[in-house]
Each structure stands twice: as structure tokens, then as C-alpha cells.
Amino acid sequence: GAVVSQHPSRVICKSGTSVKIECRSLDFQATTMFWYRQFPKKSLMLMATSNEGSKATYEQGVEKDKFLINHASLTLSTLTVTSAHPEDSSFYICSASTGTSGRQETQYFGPGTRLLVL
Amino acid sequence: AQKITQTQPGMFVQEKEAVTLDCTYDTSDQSYGLFWYKQPSSGEMIFLIYQGSYDEQNATEGRYSLNFQKARKSANLVISASQLGDSAMYFCAMRGTGGFKTIFGAGTRLFVKA
């Protein structure tokens, strides 16, 4: 089956620093990648949708300048949390899609990245 | 607007018994897909089962089956012969025809008792 990796799996950083999270589709080309955020014991909240070679589409309420998303290739998308603050601490999950609508097999989730901002 | 509702924050089931996790949805799309995911404490999202809106038969995957009632807009997950390893968070999700983005319900935490 298709595999999506995320790096790092967990990161601790100081307030004010920037953190980059990578999402890679290892054995398929992902035309679309999604970034989710999950607070403890809560559901996944879609942050943004990124298509290769174009600007990301952010969900309402998500700060574009705070969460920079780059989808430079068909196998890599990055999420950069700029000037991180403790309230940015969360579990970030990416998923990758081949772009065909409807079926499960077109969206694959990464293992997630736990971010803790001190 | 699309919406997924899971009304059971937590459920208990005895090992080897069956359990039903409820999910209702709302959408104006004619074509959509419904999913169930399992999230253990490690955080990974594990795909369990998929049901297309035009699929006439209820989906089944091993011990998982999806009780799809389109008119009632419900897509309940049935887990048969529960195992201790089934203890986890379960999310119902839906993807419509536009943008391929998937929205998730609030989740149900399942506890399997020995």
C-alpha cells in the first residue's frame, strides 16, 4: 500500500523559533496534500490543502503567514510553523492524495508530528 | 455545508462482543464517500472501511462492517467479536465531490473490557 512519511515525528522548540515539518509520499505521486491539526482528545481539523506547484488553500481561521505550506514536488510538502508559541503545540498530520475523487485509496495519512513549544 | 456527527464520546464493550459506533452526516453533494478511521494512542490514522454514496451494498472489511442508511444519512460502524486491541479512538469521515478534502467527526473512544 501507499506510504506517507512525516519528519520529525516529534519536536520540542523554544517560543519564537520556526519549525519545519516534512510530509513525503514514498511510493506514489501526490497531486494534493492536506495538513491537519489535532488537539488532545479532539478531532482532526483541516488546516490547508496544497497542490503541487501552486499556492495552498487555507481553511477559514488558519493564519497563512503563521503556517507556511510549500508543495514543491509531487512527493514532498512542508509545513513551517513560524515564530512558534505555546498555543501552537499540537499534533500535526498530513495526508496525500492522488487526486481521484471519492475512493479511500486516494488519500493516505502520515504518522503525525507532535510539536511542543516551550 | 458538510457535517459529520458522532454523538458517542465514549463506548464500552466486552471482549468478543459486537459494538456499533454511530455516525450521521449532512451534505448537499450527490456523490460522496464515507470513511472510518481508527486512531490508537500512537496517533497514526488507520483506514478501516469505505462506503461510496452510490454503493448499493454495505461495505465489509473483515470484522468491520458499515451499516449505510442513505435516507437517514447514517453510516454506523459495526465491529464484531471485539478484541482488546480495538481499544482506540474511532473517527467517521466524509469526502464530497469538490476539492477532495475530508472532514472528520468528533470521534468515539472505544474501550474493550477483558
Model pLDDT for residues B82-109, shown as the tens digit of each residue:
999 999 999 999 987 665 678 899 999 9
> What proportion of chain A, given as a percentage, has pLDDT over 90?
69
pLDDT band with cut points at 50, 70 and 90 for residue A60: very high
| Residue entry with cell 482528545 | A41
Q: Are A15 and A7 a contacting pair, CB within 8 Å?
A: no
Q: Does residue B42 sit at the A interface (CB-CB below 8 Å)? A: yes
CB contact under 8 A, B91 and A107: no
Q: From chain B, pick out residues whose CB is under 8 angstroms from the CB of A58.
A: none
> Do the chains contact at B95 and A93, CB–CB below 8 Å?
no
CA B49 to chain CA centroid, Å, is 8
Mean pLDDT value across chain B: 93
Q: A93: which chain B residues are within 8 Å (Cβ-Cβ)? A: 43, 45
Rounded Cα distance between A6 and A110, Å, is 6
Task: Say whether pLDDT at A77 is over 80.
Answer: yes
* Residue A35, number of CB atoms within 10 A of its CB: 26
- Predicted local confidence at residue A106, as pLDDT: 62
Buried b (16+ CB within 10 A) or exposed e, B15-49: eeeebebbbbbebeeeebbbbbbbbeeebebebbb
What are the grid coordinates assigned to B92, written together? Answer: 467517521
Report chain B residues whose CB lies below 8 A from the CB of A95.
Answer: 45, 102
How far, in Å, CA of B100 to CA of A103, rounded?
A: 10
Q: By CA distance, what is A92's nearest residue in B?
A: B43
Number of other residues whose CB lies within 10 A of the CB of residue A27: 10
CA distance A92 to A22: 11
Identify the segments of chain B with pLDDT beneath 50. none
The answer to whether B73 and B22 have CB atoms below 8 angstroms apart is no
Cα separations (Å) of A31 from A49, A96, B7, B34, B112?
11, 8, 34, 21, 39
Pairing of strands B108-113, B10-14: parallel
pLDDT at B102: 86
Q: Measure the CA–CA gap between A56 and A34, rounded to whole angstroms.
A: 9
Rounded to whole angstroms, how far apart are CA atoms B75 and B70?
Answer: 8
In the three-class reduction of DSSP (H, G, I as helix; E, B as strand; rest coil), residue B27 is classed as coil
Residue B81 distance to chain A (closest CA, Å): 25
Pick A97's closest partner by Cβ from B100, B103, B107: B100
CA of B29: how far to CAs of A102, A104, B25, in Å? 12, 17, 11
For residue A114, the chain B residues in CB contact (below 8 A) are 43
- The answer to whether residue B95 neighbours chain A at the CB level (below 8 Å) is yes
